[in-house]
């Protein structure tokens, strides 16, 4: 019976893998220039994203769709209860004067109330405008003024003060509610006399082409632009990724899928993840904090089966594991565990993909030992049930991906932008290929222009920038969106991102250098925090490097140095510079001698949102950082 069951499962997985059909187009030299994946979900012709809670309540009223944390415990929220709460808040917005097509800005960290608000705004006929909770008064002023938002919901008193200050000079300031001050209760009370039928009427008047959200880019250069995304855009992204991933996750894990959502809901990836989970009735919990120290206890309590995060999270989990091993005097053992994991992961993947025999007996034995000593502790840190993770935002270093694979957690990479409603590509679950960002999301085409620029086409591509036709015309042509990123497609249609077009450095010797490759590898190695590779019109490539505060604290402790040692002394310490040099050497392994980092400067501060050097999605604002550290950069070339 066991053999028969295994054969049946193998056939089922083969059938699932075969659902993703990729067509490639080659140029006259045989180079793949376009990859297209057939849609798995039918194109939406009626209705909107706002219908999801109500469809769930009708079809499965008792299904648990969310879990809400209160007083340290996770309480279930059924489909019926969630739809009821969405209706109550939508009625409050209508009572407050919201008209169909009005925009409501939401400035909050990731929390349960954000999800309620998103669907309530849509159900009342409105459009949501997400605002990062860390935004300044100037940034808030721009987004509220540019979007024309008449209403703003904030999270904290501090957020409310920021909005009040930022909008004080506007002719008509927005109406404000605050979540910490009971915004949802206030809206519910306000709408008590509005009939439920009014919400139903407004919701059913929405169409796939109705604007759902004006989502502002993170603004690494210049003013953030508002991407106009329709309900059809959101549906194309959510429905196709659910159809691609969910059946396979269920088949492979035999688990009820659940995830802890911690990505900012002001970021399109967090928003579409939320929609996808509710569409598939996958249980969601929320965590307002994205820092590993805040996340770890919630992960252990919630115990998700999959996560969606950014490389920083996986880098920090790995670094924390090594730091813990060092404190126990087992740093060398952790390093061996890492090397074994990379070798085991490569061999095991080769067998999985039918291109090798897999790990030999000796490697299996080494893996079993370190699974007992190291890898199981990594799984425990992530809740103990995690089998899959999706990483986006920037490339995840390949060896780190293999480390987690050997630890029993498959990390799939994806790639996308706000303009593509989040993921435009994702690694298919039964076709992992570390180092790539996967195949086009079903229903999407990816093309490579003559200069190497990545282009995207399909139902996920936005229609315009809000109030900015000139910027729209620059990036949209015949349905294709030009991303500004550089990449290549392999023979099977997998995309690899090689850099950002506008970030390419050209040394005075004429060598073109993509800083992204070097920066991604640098950040993956402690004690590096953030970094900036420079060298445009310079004789060689160099780097500004900040130190990760947690790693510095550990570094001082291991060496018996005072915890309050000034950072000015730390950055000059020859031992610290030697450790950073190892990270630089590792980064340089990926490039030629002409592209390698020849010199670096350790800076005492950090790149943060507060000092304007980091976007809310943790991307370095290159121009701002170069201006802030102009003297340090110049000194590298003296």
- Average pLDDT of the chain? 90
Helix, strand, coil shares of the chain, percent, nearest 5, are 45, 20, 35
Domain boundary among 470, 498, 526: 498
Q: Write down the pTM of the prediction.
A: 0.84
pLDDT at 249: 64
State the pLDDT at residue 3: 37
> How far, in Å, are 330, 404, 525, 541 from residue 399 at the CA level?
21, 9, 11, 24
Return the closest-CA partner of residue 364 out of 339, 340, 334, 336: 340
Q: Which of 455, 433, 439, 300 is nearest to 378 (CA)?
A: 300
249 and 175 together in one domain:
no
Q: What is the pLDDT of residues 556-597, one digit of tens each?
A: 988 889 999 999 999 999 999 999 999 999 999 988 888 899
CA distance 554 to 324: 9
**What gap in Å lies between CA 521 and CA 375, rounded to an integer?**
22
* Predicted local distance difference test score (pLDDT) of residue 2: 39
202 domain-assigned: yes
Taking only the tens place, the pLDDT of each residue in 30-85 is: 999 999 999 999 999 999 999 999 999 999 999 999 999 988 899 999 999 999 99
Residue 235, in any domain of the structure:
no
- Contact criterion met (CB below 8 Å) for 124 and 199: yes
Give the separation between CA 153 and CA 176, rounded to whole angstroms: 6
Distance between first and last Cα of the chain: 74
- Specify the higher pLDDT residue, 291 or 83: 83
Same domain, 321 and 447: yes
**Strand pairing report for 410-417 and 388-391:** parallel
Do 203 and 285 lie in one domain? The reply is no
Do residues 163 and 174 touch, judged by C-beta distance below 8 A?
Answer: yes
Tracing tokens 């209160």 back to the chain, one arrives at: 70
pLDDT above 60 (res 1): no
Domain holding 610: CATH number? 3.30.300.30
The reply to whether 288 falls in a domain is yes
Assess whether 191 and 272 both reside in one domain.
no
What pLDDT, on a 0 to 100 scale, did the predictor assign at position 104? 98
Q: What is the pLDDT of residue 365?
A: 96
- The larger pLDDT score, comparing residue 257 to residue 337, is at 337
Share of the chain above pLDDT 70, in %: 95
Q: What is the dihedral of CA 482, 488, 494, 496, to 10 degrees?
A: -90
**Assigned token pair, 130:** 């997400």
What is the Cα–Cα distance from 338 to 316, expressed in whole angstroms? Answer: 14
Task: Pick the last residue of a domain from 201, 229, 257.
Answer: 229
CA dihedral 456, 271, 399, 433 (to 10 degrees): -40
Asked if 374 and 293 sit in the same domain, the reply is: yes
* Residue at 629 is within a domain: yes
Specify whether 253 is located in the same domain as 210.
Answer: no
- Per-residue pLDDT, averaged over 280-297, amounts to 87
CATH number (domain holding residue 347): 3.40.50.12780
The rounded distance, in Å, linking the Cα atoms of 100 and 90 is 12
Q: How far apart are CA 556 and CA 569, in angstroms?
A: 11
The gap from C-alpha 561 to its chain's centroid, in whole angstroms, comes to 37
pLDDT surpasses 50 at 449: yes
**Do residues 440 and 399 touch, judged by C-beta distance below 8 A?**
no
H-state helical runs in 47-101: 52-59, 79-95
DSSP-derived 3-state class of residue 264: coil
Instruction: Kindly tell me if the per-residue pLDDT of 393 is higher than 80.
Output: no
Q: What is the mean pLDDT of residues 385-407?
A: 86
Residues 6 or more apart whose CB falls under 8 angstroms from that of 568 comprise 604
Residue 460 confidence (pLDDT): 97
Cα–Cα distances in Å, from 32 out to 38, 294, 358, 440, 482? 17, 44, 29, 14, 17
Please report whether residue 67 resides in a domain.
no
Residue 347, both tokens: 């061999």
- Contact 406/345 with Cβ under 8 angstroms? yes
Position 520 scores a pLDDT of 85
Give the separation between CA 624 and CA 168, rounded to whole angstroms. 27
**Does residue 171 register a pLDDT over 60?**
yes
Q: How far apart are CA 160 and CA 103, in angstroms?
A: 18
In this structure, is residue 13 part of a structural domain? Answer: no
H runs (alpha helix) in 426-480: 469-475
Quote the CA–CA distance of 165 and 175 in Å, as a whole number. 14
Q: Where are the alpha helices (DSSP H) in 426-573?
A: 469-475, 515-523, 549-558, 567-570
> What average pLDDT does the segment 458-467 reach?
96
Q: What angle do CA 277, 291, 499 make, to 5 degrees?
A: 80
Q: Are residues 130 and 278 in the same domain?
A: no
Q: Write down which residue in 202, 229, 256 finishes a domain.
A: 229
CATH number at residue 194: 3.40.50.980
Residues 522 and 379 in one domain: no
Predicted confidence at residue 47, as pLDDT, reads 96
Contacts of 481-484 spanning 24+ positions with Cβ under 8 A: 481/419, 481/420, 481/455, 481/456, 481/457, 482/449, 482/453, 482/455, 483/417, 483/419, 483/420, 483/453, 483/454, 483/455, 483/456, 484/453
- What is the mean predicted confidence (pLDDT) over 344-360? 88
In degrees rounded to 5, what are phi and psi of residue 63?
A: -65, 135
Which residue do the tokens 């507060």 mark? Answer: 610
Q: Is the CB of residue 206 less than 8 Å from the CB of residue 192?
A: no
Q: Is 468 within the bounds of a domain?
A: no
Q: Are residues 209 and 290 in the same domain?
A: no
Out of 37-46, 100-109, 238-247, least confident range: 238-247
Q: What are phi and psi of 352, to 5 degrees?
A: -60, -35
Question: Can you give the pLDDT at residue 498?
Answer: 83
Q: Are residues 162 and 258 in the same domain?
A: no
Q: In this predicted model, which residue has the larger pLDDT, 134 or 67?
A: 67
Q: Are residues 165 and 305 in the same domain?
A: no
Minimum mean pLDDT range among 250-254, 317-321, 548-552, 560-564: 250-254
Distance between CA 431 and CA 23 in Å, rounded? 16
- Sorting pLDDT into bands at 50, 70 and 90, what band is 6? very low
d(CA 152, CA 170): 14
What is the span of the domain harbouring residue 190? Answer: 49-61+81-229
d(CA 280, CA 203): 20
Give the pair of three-digit tokens for residue 441.
């999301």
In this prediction, residues 345-360 reach a mean pLDDT of 87
CA distance 318 to 396: 12
Whether residue 620 lies inside any domain: the answer is yes
Count: domains in the chain:
3
Q: Do 522 and 602 sit in the same domain of this protein?
A: yes
């Amino acid at each position: 019976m066991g053999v028969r069951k295994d054969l049946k499962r193998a056939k089922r997985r083969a059938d699932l893998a075969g659902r993703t059909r990729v067509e490639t187009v080659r140029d006259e030299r045989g180079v793949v220039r376009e990859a297209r994946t057939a849609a798995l979900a039918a194109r939406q012709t009626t209705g909107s994203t706002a219908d999801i809670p109500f469809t769930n309540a009708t079809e499965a009223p008792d299904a648990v769709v969310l879990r809400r944390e209160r007083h340290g415990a996770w309480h279930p929220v059924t489909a019926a209860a969630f739809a009821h709460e969405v209706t109550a808040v939508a009625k409050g917005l209508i009572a407050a004067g919201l008209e169909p097509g009005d925009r409501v800005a939401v400035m909050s960290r990731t929390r349960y109330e954000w999800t309620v608000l998103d669907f309530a705004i849509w159900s009342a006929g409105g459009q949501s405008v997400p605002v990062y909770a860390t935004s300044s008064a100037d940034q808030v002023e721009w987004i509220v003024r540019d979007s024309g938002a008449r209403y703003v919901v904030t999270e904290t008193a501090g957020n409310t003060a920021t909005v009040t200050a930022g909008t004080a000079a506007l002719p008509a300031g927005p109406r404000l509610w605050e979540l910490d001050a009971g915004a949802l209760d206030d809206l519910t009370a306000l709408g008590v006399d509005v009939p439920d039928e009014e919400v139903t009427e407004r919701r059913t008047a929405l169409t796939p082409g109705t604007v759902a959200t004006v989502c502002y880019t993170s603004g690494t250069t210049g003013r953030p632009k508002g991407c106009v995304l329709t309900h059809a855009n959101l549906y194309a992204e959510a429905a196709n990724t659910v159809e691609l991933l969910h059946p396979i996750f269920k088949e492979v894990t035999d688990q009820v899928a659940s995830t802890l959502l911690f990505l900012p809901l002001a970021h399109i990836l967090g928003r579409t993840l939320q929609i996808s989970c509710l569409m598939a009735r996958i249980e969601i919990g929320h965590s307002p904090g994205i820092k590993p120290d805040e996340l770890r206890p919630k992960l252990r309590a919630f115990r998700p089966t999959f996560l969606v995060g950014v490389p920083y999270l996986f880098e920090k989990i790995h670094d924390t594991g090594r730091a813990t091993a060092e404190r126990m005097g087992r740093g060398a053992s952790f390093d061996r565990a890492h090397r074994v994991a990379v070798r085991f992961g490569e061999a095991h993947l080769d067998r999985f993909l039918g291109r090798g025999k897999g790990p030999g007996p000796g490697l299996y034995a080494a893996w079993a030992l370190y699974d007992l000593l190291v890898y199981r502790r990594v799984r425990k840190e992530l809740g103990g049930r995690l089998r899959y993770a999706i990483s986006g935002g920037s490339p995840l270093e390949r060896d780190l991906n293999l480390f987690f694979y050997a630890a029993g957690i498959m990390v799939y990479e994806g790639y996308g932008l706000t303009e593509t409603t989040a993921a435009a590509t994702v690694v298919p679950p039964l076709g992992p290929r570390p180092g790539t960002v996967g195949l086009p999301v079903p229903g999407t085409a990816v093309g490579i222009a003559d200069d190497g620029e990545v282009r995207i086409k399909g139902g996920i591509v936005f229609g315009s920038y809000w109030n900015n036709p000139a910027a729209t015309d620059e990036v949209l042509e015949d349905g294709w969106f030009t991303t500004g990123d550089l990449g290549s497609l392999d023979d099977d249609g997998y995309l690899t991102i090689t850099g950002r077009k506008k970030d390419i450095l050209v040394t005075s010797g004429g060598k073109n250098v993509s800083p992204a490759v070097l920066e991604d590898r640098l950040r993956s190695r402690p004690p590096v925090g953030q970094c900036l590779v420079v060298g445009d019109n310079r004789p060689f490539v160099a780097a500004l490097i900040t130190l990760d505060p947690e790693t510095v604290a550990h570094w001082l402790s291991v060496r018996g140095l005072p915890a309050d040692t000034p950072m000015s002394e730390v950055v000059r310490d020859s031992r610290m510079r030697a450790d950073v040099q190892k990270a630089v050497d590792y980064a340089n392994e990926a490039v030629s001698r002409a592209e390698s980092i020849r010199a670096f400067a350790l800076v005492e501060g950090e790149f943060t949102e507060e000092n304007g050097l980091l976007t809310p999605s943790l991307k370095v604002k290159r121009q701002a950082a170069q201006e802030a550290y102009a003297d340090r950069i110049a000194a590298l070339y003296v």
